[in-house]
Amino acid sequence: MPIDIETFERESEFDSERTNAERILSFLLTNDDKAFRRQEIADATNIDPNAVSAVLSRLKERNLVRHKPPYWAADNRERIRGAVDFSRSLETLNERLGTEDMDEWRDAAADGPHPNEREHE
């Protein structure tokens, strides 16, 4: 999703619009020839070190970052790009259409097929 140039120029506002995961991934991708300690990532991104730890753990589970204690680095650039694109697309859809209610999905699944669906069997 593009941003206007005024937002781009106000870096602090731009950072506040991005998630912690996006900010960390952006930092690691910008410096993809290096690996960093958690505190270095926290200092560079202005994110609380405890939050950085939690985000890095989730990113590692998704194979978006690599970890060799105590260092962290970006993983596959294309995988990261795909994950960020998917996240932004989902966010846009949720804004336009609203979020899904998992309880409604479960209830519908428990009730069986819709009557119109039975006609096509």
Q: What is the mean pLDDT of the chain?
A: 82
Predicted local distance difference test score (pLDDT) of residue 79: 81
Domain count, the chain: 1
Does 11 have pLDDT greater than 60? Answer: no
Query: Does the pLDDT value for residue 14 go beyond 60?
Result: no
Over residues 64-79, the pLDDT tens digits come to: 999 999 999 999 878 8
Share of the chain above pLDDT 70, in %: 79
What does the alpha-carbon distance between residue 91 and residue 14 come to, in Å, rounded to a whole number?
17
The range of the structural domain enclosing residue 61 comes to 5-119
- Long-range Cβ contact pairs of 69-77 (< 8 A, separation 24 or more): 70/37, 70/38, 71/35, 71/36, 71/37, 72/28, 72/35, 72/36, 72/37, 72/38, 72/41, 73/28, 73/32, 73/34, 73/35, 73/36, 74/25, 74/28, 74/29, 74/32, 77/29, 77/32
Q: Can you give the CATH number for the domain in which 23 is found?
A: 1.10.10.10
